[in-house]
Every structure is written in C-alpha cells, then in structure tokens.
Copies of this chain bind each other. A is one copy, B any other.
Amino acid sequence: MTNTKPLILITNDDGITAPGIRALIEVMNELGDVCVVAPNSPQSGMGHAITINDTLYCDKVVIDKDAPQDEYSCSGTPADCVKLAVNEIIHRKPDLCVSGINHGSNSSINVIYSGTMSAAVEAGTQGIPSIGFSLLNYSLDANFEPVKKYVKTIAEKALIHGMPKGVILNVNFPDLLETQIKGIKVCRQADAHWVEKFDKRTNPLGREYYWLSGEFVNEDKGEDTDEWALQNGYVSVVPVQFDLTAHHAIKDINDWDI
C-alpha cells in the first residue's frame, strides 16, 4: 500500500497538552499523517533557545487514545523538539511543520521572543515548509473553533505551493467569532516594541526580586502591518526570514571607514 499523504510535524511552546496544539492536531489530521513532538511543559518566551548543556528526554505518549497521530513529549525547548523530531523520531524532513496554536499573540516584535515561532523558524532553517499559528487570547479557555478553517486553508496552500526559500509564515488570529473575522491579509511586521515595567517585591527571606511585565507600544500606523490587520478583524500572515542581515545598512556601516 502506498502512502501518499503528506507527513506533518506538529509542535508548540505551550506544552503538549495545551488546548491550542490539540486544536491544531485535529485540523492537521484532515490533511495528512501527523507526528507530534512537543514540550512536556510550557515554554513561552523561550525564544530560539536550544539545550546544549543539559540532557534531553523524549517519551512516546498517548494523550488522545482514539486519535491517529503519534505523539512524543520532550523535555527540551520548541527548537529542540523540531531537531529531535527530524533526526531521531521521523528520521526525515516532514512535508510541513506547524507550530501552535499559541495561546497569545506573536505578532510584530513578539516574533523574536516566541517559542512557537522559533520552532517554525528552526524547521525553516532545515528547508522544511513551516508555519507558526497564534491566537490573540492568552487564556487556557481560548476558543480555537473560529480559526480552524483558516488554519486548514493556509496549511493546504503551503502543502500545494511549498514555501519561498528561507521563508516561514507567522500567522496570527484575532480573538473574534467566526462571523466577525473578515479574511486573511499578508502583512509586514509592525514596528512596535515593549516598554518594560518591573514589579519589585521582597521574598520571605528579605531578598528583593522582580517580575517582568510591560506594555506593548505600537506607533506604526501602517495599514500593511500585522497589527493593523489584527485590530481590523483580519488574520495576519507575515512571511518571516532567518537571514537577519540588514542589507540596506551595509553601505552605512562601510561609510564608518573602519
């Protein structure tokens, strides 16, 4: 029997039991054979961390006994999961890697902190078509139903067309009802940033410590940005690259005459 279904690798950064990845698995089972390799604990804000000074455990698990996919729970970061999956579990490049659905936004500058997107970027560096999905709702009770049809459409298109070389998709969904979502917009990353605020406290032993928090500030009013799309009811799709070279600045720095 020939298996012509695509092989789809799924990971995330909220952990293998998070509702967001369960929704993503459900949709991907309609499109191909699914293998899940995801962190055994939440890894939000891990960026592109990899585990180089510690051991990695990766155990086969059954989370939904009626579902067809193989699942592996990994002690490492989202990027570790992708490396382990390709090299030690499925032993080949999957046809598609999808990461998410993240509980919370990875739009604009959030992409650089995102474990969800780092997993997708890691797959991209290995030449695997790859997409990160995120919903603008941090709650564990977030409703992923309205976005499932968009997840399916975008993944299907990626399977058909492949991905431009060196490009990964960063897809964010507004937290809206299905009838409120206006469609999909391909965007650029808004030029926004975080203004930090630290909550300074004293622990029971009298030692001071901090909690990191902050405020997201977007002064980029461009209607071609992901922030504009999301605020106006659209799904944002930003093509992201891992060639970080600021090619336009090479001349500027050469003019320093160093």
- A249 / chain B contacts, CB cutoff of 8 Å: 164, 167, 239, 241
Complex CA gap A14/B240 in Å reads 29
Q: How many copies does the complex hold?
A: 2
In contact, A243 and B191 (Cβ under 8 angstroms): yes
Distance in Å from the Cβ of A42 to the closest Cβ of chain B? 7
When the two chains form the complex, which single residue of B53, B84, B245 contacts A238, counting CB atoms closer than 8 Å?
B245
CB-defined A-B contacts under 8 Å, sample of 25? A45-B53, A47-B47, A47-B79, A55-B203, A56-B198, A56-B211, A76-B212, A84-B210, A87-B198, A88-B198, A109-B125, A111-B244, A112-B242, A164-B252, A164-B253, A166-B246, A167-B246, A186-B253, A189-B243, A189-B245, A191-B243, A239-B252, A239-B253, A241-B244, A241-B249
For the complex of A and B, 8 pairs with smallest distance between CB atoms: A47-B48, A47-B47, A239-B249, A241-B246, A239-B246, A188-B245, A45-B52, A56-B210
Q: Besides A49-B113, A167-B246, 20 other CB < 8 A contacts?
A: A45-B49, A45-B52, A48-B112, A55-B209, A55-B210, A56-B212, A83-B198, A109-B125, A109-B242, A125-B194, A127-B193, A157-B256, A169-B253, A186-B250, A186-B254, A188-B245, A189-B244, A189-B245, A239-B252, A241-B244
